[in-house]
Structure 1
Amino acid sequence: MTSDTTRSAAVREAALTQVPAALADLGSLVRIPSVAFPGFDRAEVQRSAEAVKALVDGLGIFEHVEIKTAVIPETGEEGMPAVLATRKARNGRPTILLYAHHDVQPVGDDSLWESPPFEPTLRDGRIYGRGAADDKAGIMAHIGALRALVDALGPDFDLGVNLFFEGEEEAGSASFAQFLSDNADALRADVIVVADSGNWDSETPALTVSLRGNARFTLDIETLEHASHSGMFGGAVPDAMLAAVTLLATLWDSDGAVAVKGLESRDAATPPYSEETLRDEAGLPAGVSPIGRDEILSRIWNKPSITITGIDAPSVRNASNTLSPKVSVVISTRVAPGQAAADAFAAIEAHLRAHAPFGARLAFRDVDFGDAFLVDTSGPAVEKARAALESGYGRTPVDIGVGGSIPFIADLVREFPGAEILVTGVEDPHARAHSPNESLHVDTFRHALLSEALLLESLDASE
């Protein structure tokens, strides 16, 4: 048996041994309601950061571990607390930056949860709870993999390791770019692992090689100077809801595909993926048809989509016989890889202004951009990651695209242009991140932790 084989076997055994402790620590993190959105208790995000820092301190391998914030340039406000740790490389070894985030999405409607959202609950091989998958499991995959490396190789291994556990990813990473700029030297690395994506299924690992961008904004649609009686003036005066419904309908064609001139698509092959799989993973019931055209995964990975994610209008409970003067909607556009988010927004704005009915007045605000991402798969770290995933899961990994967005990756590319960026994750298609009953598949987590430990060992062994 070679020395390399011995090392790898020791790391494998240590990683599998570390899984129960990692899951227990994950449960403790899930109990902290670390929602970073405005209106939620910032103290809980601070408490979450302190709990994560304690886990990092417990590794005993870092030269510096601290909780840090950065100022949001646009507002001058302090961003949410992140955990930063650094350890210099030795003897010519590379440095790896491990990223995840400890903040979580709001719960939403409590009544839709089958168990309390901040009480981790094990059912049918899954741990349920807000953040159990997205992304406190990413933090614990990193921590567990490092624990395994220490157990197998001792604390004096040569690999450089930096950690960045963000506290505001779900709320838009408003201070992310400034944080990178403020701490560029501490975060600089040869390889960056972003543990905030998913896998092909619960048994097959994936490396995310493309992400759609995002252009999100609030649109105000106004037709009247004040509300009026719908019986007195209805039929002659356009209310804002009529204008909104009429205008928003122009964003899609009869198939539900985006119908905005200037929004681009990417031409790239996708693996086979059936409508039955889509229905199962998305919860699409019989009788409701999928939207769009072409291959299903191409619609999700390579084409734009537009979703109305929020609306301010009179509620059903408060409905009265009134012509509404103003309606506001939040529009979220997923932008195909290869198109800048700003260009996509310009196309949508032009479309909406050109199609505004009845002379409705439009205003655009709270505009937020995140560019798409394409991975350069030619680097040596990508090959090591694929090998580690195959060894950890026992299955050949799949290169996937993701319809969602991780806008801050564009900031990483800009700040560290020479780094290889690997987007991995612990989620499977049934994790329901951002939704009620979010959950983590325990076996997927076990394989993810093992795979990352094997990746760290292979990087430590390379010069």
Structure 2
Amino acid sequence: MEIGTLEGTVDGLMDGLRADLERLAAIPSIAFPGFPPEPLEQAHDLVVELLRGAGVEHIERLDLPDTAPAVYAYIPPPDPGAPTVLLYGHYDVQPPGDESSWLSPPFVPTPTDDPGGGLRARGIADDKSNVIAHLGMLRVFGGRPPVGIKMIIEGQEEYGSPFDDYPPTDPERFACDAMVIADLGNLRPGTPTLTTGLRGAAEVVVEVRTLEEPRHSGEFGGAAPDALLVLLRALATLHDDKGDVAVPGLRRDEWSGAGYTEDEFRSLAGVQDGLPLIGSGGLGERLWSGPAITVIGLDAPSVEHAASAVVPYARAKLNLRFHPLQDPKDARDKLVEHLRAQRPFGIELTVTPGDTGPGYEAATGGPAYEAARSALRKAWGKEAGYVATGGSIPLVNGLAQAAPGAEVLLFGAQDGMCNLHAPNERVLLSELRNTVVAMAAFVTEYAEDFRGRTGAPGATS
């Protein structure tokens, strides 16, 4: 299919795709504890309905332990010479948070005034836009694309995905030549982007107890060991004076791909005017190819209820993000070893290692990447850039382990300014349209290249 014909076909589908996106985004499909399960069932059933309407005949419901149901769909290759592409997305969403911060109700899809058109709702970008992008690609071909398709649309990615571990236990189900994991998108609107690296993640808890109970700060302060001061002094050793991570053994490389400008990053992070960013070197090193340590929780007396007493106990929870290729246990253990070696005022800390999640770095020299770069260029009219992400998506490793020979591509309809996980999340319809074009162009070019490399004949008429 020529690109002009393809674009015309997608443009003719957009009204229906928008309507279906609004239907899906109106369902509050939150898989977190404390939220009702019925919306998850509704979203699952709607995805099945939409896939059947797109011509998919083989659809299974996957009921894995302790998780929302997943949709598994399969379209056999059109002929023995065609490759198989696995598509991934998820229909569950983050909780909306403080609804007073939203400009419109979070589960009422609402048009925005963004150039190119937009819709605002919780989960409309992450990840329901990408579910609809997969659907749009299937509609382009009337449910008979030039490649075999395996599709996983899961219902609990935002809260403990089973696909972090399940795929390697069922490798036949996930066997493929390439996979498109659509759980992210472009660096910025209008900039085609392939994500090639994901930082890993680990958590560590550090705590200290110094007294049996609080003691009067006037009578005992100055000699009695203050647990909060001990903890703060230990936490201060995690970074140097520039704000760079000072824990030995955590890998940091230069970043040579695309990245945010400092002004873009300041706006996205909501940095207050006049404040410097922390750390040195390029933003890519600080955000993607180097470590970051964040204090995400602190147990200590609150200011509002503070008493004039020496604090007997304090605890902090740390989140570590590390280089995509560093071993998770090694990275976490480096942080644990550093903290256990500290003796603030001669006092030992209790350090407890927590969960880890691996990073991922894709190989980008294969035919699927070549086809994807060409497809993105056709869809957006400019060359695609490579980026990484500081967020972790452990299921990428699970899927990659299940199909170790497959190329892994990460692209989709979101963009870096879409407010995912934040109030007023939105998706641009122009990005959704171009993503559908890119996915359709990708499977077309990949099928042609695959046959050319293997010498396999195409389908006969």
TM-score (ref. length: structure 2): 0.89
1:439 has 2:434 as partner? no
Counterparts of 1:46-125 in structure 2, within 5 Å, are 46-63=41-58, 65-71=59-65, 78-91=66-79, 92-125=81-114
Please state if 1:205 is matched with 2:192.
yes
Candidates 147, 153, 173, aligned match of 1:165: 153
Deviation at 1:273, TM superposition (A): 4.9
Tell me: CA distance 1:90–1:199, structure 2 relative to 1, closer, same or farther (3 Å).
same
User: Partners of 2:156 and 2:397 in 1: how far apart?
Assistant: 16
Offset, 1:395: 1.6
Alignment-derived partner of residue 135 in structure 2: 143
Q: Equivalents in 2 of 1:226, 1:329: separation in Å?
A: 19
| Matched AA of 1:95 | T
Q: Aligned letter for 2:415? A: D
Question: What is the Cα deviation at residue 196 of structure 1?
Answer: 1.4
1:149–1:457 Cα contact (<8 Å) kept:
no
- Distance in 2 separating the partners of 1:328 and 1:118: 37
Structure 1 counterpart of 2:125: 133
Distance in 2 (CA, whole Å) between partners of 1:326 and 1:31 is 46
CA shift digits 1:99-132 (9 cap, x unpaired): 0112222222333222222222222123222111
| Counterpart-to-counterpart distance in 2, 1:326 and 1:178 | 37
Q: Deviations over 1:227-273 (max 9, x none)?
A: 44545544333343333322222111111111111111124424475
| Mapped contact 2:125–2:418 kept (Cα < 8 A) | yes
What CA distance in whole angstroms lies between the structure 2 residues aligned with 1:18 and 1:290? 44
Distance in 1, Cα, partners of 2:387 & 2:176: 24
Cα-to-partner distance string for 1:175-232 (whole Å, 9 max, x where unaligned): 2244314542222111100111221320110011122111124444433344445455
1:372 to 2:339 alignment: no
CA shift, 1:318, in A, is 4.2
State yes or no: 1:338 paired with 2:325.
yes
Which residue of the other structure, out of 41, 46, 49, is the alignment partner of 2:36?
41
Letter in 2 for 1:23: R
Q: CA deviation at 1:277?
A: 2.9
The more displaced of 239-248 and 98-107 is 239-248
* Mapped partners of 1:402, 1:361: distance in 2: 32
Asked if the contact 1:93–1:459 (Cα under 8 Å) also holds between the matched residues in 2, the reply is no
- Structure 1 range deviating more: 22-31 or 235-244: 235-244
Q: Secondary structure in 1 aligned to 2:411?
A: strand
Query: 2:131 corresponds to which letter in structure 1?
Result: I
The amino acid across from 1:117 in the alignment is: P
Gaps of at least 5 residues in structure 2 are 452-461
Are the counterparts in 2 of residues 86 and 187 from structure 1 also a CA contact under 8 Å?
no
- Tell me, in whole angstroms, the C-alpha distance in 2 between the residues paired with 1:431 and 1:54: 27
Contact 2:138 2:145 in 1 (8 A): no
User: 1:145–1:310: structure 2 CA closer, same or farther, 3 Å change rule?
Assistant: farther
In structure 2, C-alpha distance between the alignment counterparts of 1:220 and 1:408, rounded to whole Å? 31
Instruction: Decide whether the 8 Å contact of 1:149 with 1:456 is kept in 2.
Output: no
Aligned to 1:238: 225
Equivalent position amino acid for 2:138 in 1: L
Q: 1:235-314 counterparts in 2 under 5 A?
A: 235-271=222-258, 273-314=260-301
Please give the alpha-carbon distance, in whole angstroms, between the structure 1 residues aligned to 2:252 and 2:56.
46
Distance (Å, rounded) in 1 between the aligned partners of 2:442 and 2:289: 29
TM-fit CA distance, 1:457: 2.8
Measured after TM superposition, the shift of residue 398 of structure 1 is 0.9
- In structure 2, what is the Cα distance between the partners aligned to 1:207 and 1:333? 24
Aligned-residue CA RMSD (Å): 2.3
User: What is the CA–CA distance in structure 2 between the aligned matches of 1:82 and 1:220, rounded to whole Å?
Assistant: 39
SS at match of 1:257: coil
* Structure 1 residue 317, shift from structure 2 partner: 4.6
Look up the SS of the partner of 2:27 in the other structure. coil
